[in-house]
Amino acid sequence: MGRFFTVGECSPDSPVKVVVLSEHFWRNYYSSDPHIVGKVIHISRQPLTVIGVAPLGSANLLSGGLWMP
């Protein structure tokens, strides 16, 4: 659901703060909210816009359940 990062979002000087959630994280912390993409969540008090949810098969690459550029 949603998408992964663009090249511009991965630039160190990008003002855009985005996050991709693992499906497990999305289900457990956001109750599988079907409207999560586009919402602002807070991780360590930092506001981040959710741009995607990675499928379960991708979650084994994550230790915390989310990706940030």
pLDDT digit string, tens, across residues 27-39: 999 999 999 999 9
> What does the pLDDT read at residue 53?
94
Residue 43 tokens read as: 């991780």
> What does the pLDDT read at residue 59?
54
Residue 42 sits at φ, ψ, to 5 deg, of -120, 125
* Ranges in the chain, pLDDT < 70: 58-63
**48: β partners:** 41
**Residues near 47 by beta carbon (within 8 Å), at least 6 away in sequence:** 17, 40, 41
